[in-house]
Amino acid sequence: MITSRLLSKTTVLAWFLLAAFAGGGAVRLCAAEDLKFQVQLVWATDDLKPPAGKDYKPVDPKLKSQLRALKWKNYFEVKRIDFSVPAGSTKKIAISEKCELDVRDLTGSNVEVVLFGKGKEVARVKQALPKGEILVPGGNAPNETAWLAVLKRIE
């Protein structure tokens, strides 16, 4: 019985390996491809350096260019989270102690993103988010700075 269970499990494992993303090495329970996203928590400021004791790195030039509509001079990455969303499903991401995103894959390149602040829904956005574009919930922070949650599709 253990042998038959092993064979059955091996067949299932082989199926999952076929469905895994190249290079990802992750085996997921998915009938269709998982979609890969990235969210960066970014601090926007006119200061030249991050606060003392914080090892925040400046964002890459491409992202800085995409944020040009905003007024701040410098943008520092506080945190970065890569995650996958099974096709047609929703994934919840905690980007800080009080802030969470629900990212839901819709048809085509559309996504629905719900932003939760302290457990309550504060915004819901539904739009196409093709690779290369960003969706940026954000808000003011003290001392003329701001926080941004930069969401993008990475595959």
Partner 1 sequence: MSEADHSSADDPTLVRAAQTGDMLAFEELVARHRDKIYARAFSMMRNEDEAVDLSQEAWVKGWQRLHQFQGESSFGTWMTRIVINLCLDQLRKHKRQRTESIEEMTEESGGVERQMPVVTINPTARLERAELRARIDRALGQLSHEHRTVLVLHEFEDLEYKEIAKVMECSIGTVMSRLFYARRKMAALLADVKNENWK
Partner 2 sequence: MMDYQHQLKIQAYLDGELSGPEAKEVSDWLTGQPDAAALMTELRQTGEALTGFEEGLKLPESREFFWSKVSRGIQIQENRARADAQAAPVGWLIRFRRFLMPAAGVAVISLLALVVTRETGGGPSNPAVETSLADGGGVVYHDFSAGATFVWLSYPPDSDSSEEDDAGSLDQ
Footprint of partner 1 on 43-82 (CB under 8 A): none
Measure the CA angle with vertex 95, ends 48 and 84; round to 5°.
Answer: 120
Footprint of partner 1 on 16-35 (CB under 8 A): 16, 18-19, 26-33
- Structural contact between residues 75 and 64, judged by C-beta atoms closer than 8 angstroms: yes
> Considering the rule CB under 8 A, would residue 13 count as an interface residue with partner 2?
no
- Structural contact between residues 30 and 87, judged by C-beta atoms closer than 8 angstroms: yes
Q: Any idea how long the chain is? A: 155
Footprint of partner 2 on 90-129 (CB under 8 A): 96-99, 107-110, 115, 117, 120-129
Distance CA(65)–CA(121), nearest Å, equals 29
Q: Contacting partner 1 (CB under 8 A), which of 71, 79, 92, 126?
A: 92
> Considering the rule CB under 8 A, would residue 98 count as an interface residue with partner 1?
no
Q: What are phi and psi of 128, to 5 degrees?
A: -75, 140
Q: How far is the CB of 126 from partner 1 (least distance, A)?
A: 17
For residue 142, the 8-state DSSP code is: T
The piece of 15-23, 30-38, 134-142 that touches partner 2 (CB under 8 A) is 134-142
- Can you say whether residue 108 is alpha, beta or left, with left for phi > 0 and alpha for psi between -120 and 50 degrees? left
Q: Contacting partner 2 (CB under 8 A), which of 66, 81, 93, 155?
A: 66
Q: How far is the CB of 147 from partner 2 (least distance, A)?
A: 6
Close Cβ partners of 142 (under 8 Å, ≥ 6 residues apart): none
> Considering the rule CB under 8 A, would residue 117 count as an interface residue with partner 1?
no
Residues at the contact surface with partner 1, assessed by CB under 8 A: 5, 8-9, 12-13, 15-16, 18-19, 26-33, 86-90, 92, 107
